[in-house]
Amino acid sequence: MKRAAAQAALESVAPGMRLGLGTGSTAAHFVDLLGARVRDGLDVVGVPTSERTRLQAEGLGIPLSTLDETPELDLTVDGADEFDASLRLIKGGGGALLREKIVAAASKRMFVIADATKEVGTLGAFPLPVEVDRFGARSTRLHIERAARGLGLIGAISQRMSAPDAPYLTDGGHYIFDCAFGAIDAPEALAERLSTIPGVVDHGLFIGLATAIFIAGATGVRILGD
């Protein structure tokens, strides 16, 4: 199903496009399919959202750039951990939320590719990833807790780990706190509060960025938006 969603999104890719390349298992299908089209002569340039995706795209021979060289993109194709009917997303399960958000914001359009299990009525069943600077991370965590409590959200905040004694580090060298708040009834308000906390580098709420969601289910691919 992930591959079917990726295939459907690929149909909108045209020669000459500057593409943001997402991260995760669904985005990896898109990169793989794009690699085959590039091998057949399609001329595009990609900006990867993670080192993982960069390595995959490089291996497939996809011409790559950076946002410093190519600051404006035509289309980003990426996965999501959750999405709702208003095209609001939770992302960051794969730890790449900061670069994913920067790349999506640099793009005219953002297509999300997902299987139907990612669709929710209310965001929040998937713990919200929040990327924080390592300096003062325990203080930042208290601020996150307080900000959430102010919106009636109470839940476990756990630091993502790579191994029992090794905190997970993002490509940018930051920590991630996974915040199991449960149903987030006002994602815009939470996004705004989290963004004002010193030490929060970014959070996994993507609001107003996705322009279409390609949802693959048992009966085919449905498109939300665009």
Q: Which residues are tagged catalytic?
A: 100
Output the smallest distance, CB 97 to ligand 5RP, in A: 5
170 binds ligand 5RP (CB under 6 A): no
Site track for ligand 5RP across 100-119, x = CB under 6 A = x-------------------
Q: Which stretch binds ligand 5RP (CB under 6 A): 62-70, 89-97, 175-183, 189-197?
A: 89-97
CA distances from 141 to 43, 54, 92, 178 (A): 45, 31, 17, 10
- 91 lines the binding site for ligand 5RP (CB under 6 A): yes
- 202 makes contact with ligand 5RP (CB under 6 A): no
Binding region for ligand 5RP (CB under 6 A) out of 54-62, 85-93, 161-169, 192-200: 85-93
- CB–CB of 131/174 below 8 Å? yes
In three-state secondary structure terms, 7 is: helix
Query: Given the complex with ligand 5RP, which of 22 and 35 has the nearer CB atom?
Result: 22
Shortest distance, position 91 Cβ to ligand 5RP, whole Å: 3
Find the binder of ligand 5RP among 1, 5, 13, 24 (CB under 6 A).
24
Q: Which stretch binds ligand 5RP (CB under 6 A): 88-96, 130-138, 153-161, 182-190?
A: 88-96
Alpha-carbon span 51 to 95, nearest angstrom: 11
Q: Which amino acid does the sequence have at 180?
A: A
Least distance CB 206 / ligand 5RP (angstroms): 9
Asked if 64 and 1 count as a contact pair (C-beta separation under 8 A), the reply is no
Collapsing DSSP to helix, strand or coil, 208 comes out as coil
Q: Which of 47, 73, 97, 190 binds ligand 5RP (CB under 6 A)?
A: 97
CA distances from 28 to 34, 82, 87, 114, 171 (A): 10, 17, 21, 12, 17
Q: Residues 79, 113: contact at Cβ < 8 Å? A: yes
Q: Which of 35, 46, 93, 199 binds ligand 5RP (CB under 6 A)?
A: 93
* Contacts (Cβ under 8 Å, ≥6 apart) of 84: 119, 120, 121, 122, 123
Which residues are near ligand 5RP by CB under 6 A? 22-27, 78-81, 91-97, 100
